[in-house]
Amino acid sequence: MTRLQRRLAALGAAGRKALVPFITAGDPLPEATVPVMHALVQAGADVLELGVPFSDPMADGPVIQRSSERALARGVGLSQVLDWVRAFRVDDADTPVVLMGYLNPVEIRGAETFAAQAAEAGVDGVLLVDLPPEEAEGYRQALGRHGLVLIALASPTTPPSRLEAVCAQAEGYLYYVSYAGVTGASRLDVAEAAGHLAQVRARTRVPVMAGFGIRDARSAVAMAAHADGVVVGSALVSVLDGSQNADEAAARARAFLQPLRLALDGGPVAA
């Protein structure tokens, strides 16, 4: 089993919901990326999604757009992101890391070269927002040759025929976009998302993580009732913004995520 499969299987066996935080690599400060990754694990993260800064993040709202812009302005690119994963692996050989981003940086290297470099750095999976499932097979095969998985996405607007194909292709986990829109919007309708999630979970053999609109412990618990786990991104990125040094960023990350972990494990949910 891969590192990601082991972690998800252990969560399933224990009846626990996965907590998957997203951060943009290089933001709020390049030197804070690895300390924040470790702080999130200490606070209860099960899988880390590490955003690769990109100039045209079409699926992202203003918070993550600005975080990408800040990271790019500091010269952060894919090579540096992979270096940070290597540095993280020095002290953490167990927590799965998924790179989340867009196709262009992968295309520049070529799928095979990218897959080899990502695997060597310690990456476990890749989520490419703008890669259509109809064009994904070559990338999936290249990643698979190096032990990585290509994370699939589905949304409320995915038609039934395409949903069947996406669910059949899904590896590692399936990322379910909880509403039609960009990241960070305040439009989460848990009841509506629950119906779609039931359809997705009935069609796929891998765990389903609900993302978009998860902002705090209350929304995390509400969505986790209908999914195998939750992804939290914009709210965390917003909390990190403005940190003056790596220690402050790590402390903010830890303080933000701990209440979500506690609530997902059955603890109290703050009003």
Task: Indicate the pTM of the whole model.
Answer: 0.94
3-state secondary structure of 97: strand
b/e 98-133 (16+ beta carbons within 10 angstroms → b): bbbbbbebbeeeebeebbbebeebbbbbbbbbebeb
Question: pLDDT tens digits, residue range 187-220?
Answer: 567 888 888 899 899 999 999 999 988 899 999 9
CB-CB contact of 211 with 230 (8 Å): yes
Q: Which helix (H) or strand (E) holds 149?
A: strand 149-150
Question: pLDDT tens digits, residue range 176-185?
Answer: 998 554 454 4
Annotated catalytic residue within 27, 60, 171, 228: 60
What is the C-alpha radius of gyration for the chain, rounded to an integer number of angstroms? 17
Look up 137 and say whether it is catalytic.
no
Question: pLDDT tens digits, residue range 143-172?
Answer: 999 999 999 999 888 888 889 999 998 999
Torsion of CA 97, 67, 156, 11, to 10 degrees: 30
pLDDT band for position 60 (cuts 50, 70, 90)? confident
Annotated catalytic residue within 27, 49, 124, 171: 49
Look up 135 and say whether it is catalytic.
no
